[in-house]
Structure 1
Amino acid sequence: MASTLPTLRLILASNSPRRRQLLTDLGLHYEVRLQEVDESFPPTLRRAEVAEYLAAHKAEAYRAGLAPDEVVLTADTIVCLDDDVLNKPADEAEAIAMLTRLQGRTHDVYTGVCLLTGTGHRVVFSDQTRVYFRSLTPAEIEFYVRQYQPLDKAGAYGAQDWIGMVAVTKLEGSYFNVMGLPVHRVWTELEKLGLARLS
């Protein structure tokens, strides 16, 4: 595999503007490639297992279309309150309900990542961040949901949004993991593939 390392091309299989920005900020060159993938998971899975399962499941959907010199990066972020997985809300009402449950509590954010090369080499990992939310008023929650429409975000919030500035009092772990990509882990794995280099 060493002979192919310098020529690998990175494919980001994500529509998330936050993941795109994080890879760009790392100085990585990549192509975005998208396709619809079912995001359901077995109910027996818990916490990090869910994030890793979904990331790997997404990557498998791209396997057949990968060239030998390509590596696809897929990721999935979930919010866990106790053992309940809070995925993307279906509508404003569900977003308000999720944030009402999260306010005044501590929850965990897991992001699973899969790197799959066109030659079949696969790495799956996840990272965990504990997030502390202060108590919020119903008016604050409704303002955030109506103004920011966080329906594309696990747990119905983005740490980089207004609510992250006013509600998150402490983080234990990577802030970027909460944004959707544990970039410190991603960089390390891409280094092994020859894709992350100082220029």
Structure 2
Amino acid sequence: SHISVSPFKLHYWNKLTFFTLVVKQKLPGVYVQPSYQSALMWFGVIFIWHGLYQDGVFKFTVYIPDNYPDGECPRLVFDIPVFHPLVDPESVKLDVKRAFAKWRRNHNHIWQVLMYAWRIFYKIDTNSPLNPEVLYEKDVKLFKSKVVESVRLCNIYLIKRKCWRKKKKKKAEEQSKGLHVSGLIITCALQTKPP
């Protein structure tokens, strides 16, 4: 009656427990999914509905330390550069240390990092920016134009990926229309939803 669980499975299951906590928070405009390859890497997207970054769709990856929740704060890295005072222009990492200077096991959670990432687009902190080009207080007009460009680039990136996926799907559909198997011609249809 003793159940044996490998350390790997236990480790993976622990990380998915943290994901369940994130899902329960119902964060507005923030969607995440653990990577199929590793429970320590989550892919996500933030949708911004109003404010300076309105219509922004920002994809990111969360990297969770091996010893989470005992170690450092998880890292959040955007897929492409985002013009923001708290995003490093070179590494495209969000400055999570600003909100979580010391990560505390039973006090801090991944969902709080995600909420912080969402909030930075609505409440802009220009004190000690990671991006020295951010001129929010010196030249608001220039700052706004760079934000608009950043939002446009993020959206173009998503549109290009969507078009690439459509082309890939269309090619797969064309290739699968007439498969020759053991002397028979079988017509296959790719379905996105059940009939």
TM over 0.5: no
Larger radius of gyration: 2
TM-score normalised according to structure 2 size:
0.27
Say which structure, 1 or 2, has more relative contact order (CA 8 Å, 6+ apart): 1
Which has the larger share of helix?
1
Query: Which one has the bigger strand percentage?
Result: 1
